[in-house]
Amino acid sequence: MDHRARKLSELVAQHYELLYRYAYRLTGSEADADDLTQQAFLTAQVKWDQLRDENCARSWLFTIVRNAYLKQLRLPSCLPSSALDQVAEPPSPDELCDVDGEQLQNLLNDLPEEYRSPLILFYFEDFSYKEIAEHMGVPLGTVMSRLSRAKAWLRARLTTPELISASDSKMDA
């Protein structure tokens, strides 16, 4: 086995679970998460020479997953970010204790990607604000703002049960 193949095998062993979990949180589907994770490692193999610092492999792989996900979405040019401006404070940890995983995933699926990604990266994958900003190519303040709005939107849905069924409107309320 050559050096490149060995390094790629090490990346798969070290990061597969993390990437799968991130892909699952983005898509809400096991099959789509499998596809995205496999696509990330295929892309990593093809673009191995673009990885300048092996210490940054985790962030590089997360970026590959996110880019593949965004390609799938084919997002419209303007997202409904203003709808998040009028929601309450984020939930406290005590309020989140009664949330089951499926309910949380359904709510995450309803968040526009620009809010979902920073929330997942920060709370589920332990990325710092700076790492998220670099990963998404946005200023640090934008990351903080998006996290705040996403948490507030989730809190409103979690503390007002009738909003959960109304989440089909995907934040247009």
At 14-71, the pLDDT tens digits run 989 999 999 998 888 888 888 889 888 888 888 888 888 878 888 888 988 988 888 8
Q: In Å, how far are 34, 51, 156 from 20, measured between CA atoms? A: 7, 20, 28
Q: Which residues of the chain does CATH 1.10.1740.10 include? A: 3-73
Q: Rounded CA gap, 4 and 165, in Å?
A: 49
User: What contacts 1, CB < 8 A, 6 or more positions away?
Assistant: 9
> Among 3.30.9.10, 1.10.10.10, 1.10.1740.10, 1.10.3210.10, what is the CATH number of 3-73?
1.10.1740.10
To the nearest whole percent, how much of the chain has pLDDT over 70?
A: 77
Q: Which residues of the chain does CATH 1.10.10.10 include? A: 81-169
Residue 86: the pLDDT is 45
> Among 1.10.150.110, 2.60.120.260, 1.10.10.10, 3.20.20.70, what is the CATH number of 81-169?
1.10.10.10
To the nearest whole percent, how much of the chain has pLDDT over 90?
A: 6
**Mean pLDDT of the region 157-166:** 64
Token pair listed for 34: 């499998």
Residue 115: name the closest of 77, 142, 88 by CA.
142
Q: What is the mean pLDDT of the chain?
A: 77
Q: In Å, how far are 9, 49, 67 from 2, measured between CA atoms? A: 11, 15, 28
The DSSP letter of residue 89 is P
Token pair listed for 66: 């996110």
